Amino acid sequence: MPRPVKCRRISCSPKALYFKPQGVPLAELEEVSLTLDETEALRLAHLEGLYQEASAEKMKVSRQTFGNILNAAHKKISEAIIHGKALRIEGGVYTAEYRIFGCDDCNNEWDEPFGTGRPEKCAACGSANIYRAGTVTPAGRKKQRCRYGQKGKEEKGGKEEKR
């Protein structure tokens, strides 16, 4: 029996969750699914310029696991680019360090790190008509919960597990 997948920590979510080749209708495209933890690995390694050991520490995984996550992300992105497939960012096994707020006026959603307090106005339109869209518990709190996306549910037999 394989070992269960360890929960990975992510610090931000991408602004866009779908990319596709220009000029090709979505109905005609195959998709490649990139998980949120793979996206975080790409961010840490390439945008932040961190070495694998430092990146692995931030994601709370081993250096080898981080390298495997990064290689999987590179392979999926390469497949999407070379074969002209759409790239969807979703799912994975992760816990995050931010809260999600939304605006009733412009339907904008944005992330705020834990410990910064409730924002007074919308980040996009400046409206005070905002709400808490969701919360993701950071590591270190009493009840850390791992979120299982589509990939995680398939691995767990269609059920979400709580930790």
Q: Are residues 5 and 43 in the same domain?
A: yes
pTM of the full structure: 0.66
pLDDT of residue 111: 78
Q: Are 1 and 22 part of one and the same domain? A: yes
In this structure, are 14 and 57 located in the same domain?
Answer: yes
**Which structural domain, as residue segments, surrounds residue 110?**
98-135
pLDDT tens digit string along 76-134? 999 999 999 999 998 888 777 777 788 888 988 887 776 677 888 888 898 998 888 65
The CA–CA distances, whole Å, from 27 to 30, 33, 39, 72, 82 equal 8, 16, 24, 25, 19
Residues 80 and 104 in one domain: no
User: What tens digit of pLDDT does each residue of 10-45 get?
Assistant: 887 788 889 999 999 989 999 999 999 999 999 999
pLDDT at 54: 96
Q: What is the pLDDT of residue 45?
A: 96
Domain contains 6: yes
Q: How far apart are CA 34 and CA 39, in angstroms?
A: 7
In angstroms, rounded to a whole number, what is the distance separating the alpha carbons of residues 7 and 162?
A: 11
Distance CA(59)–CA(15), nearest Å, equals 20
Sort 145 into a burial class: Cβ within 10 Å, 0-12 / 13-18 / 19+. middle
Helix axes 52-59, 63-82, angle to 10 degrees: 100
Q: For residue 149, what pLDDT is reported?
A: 55
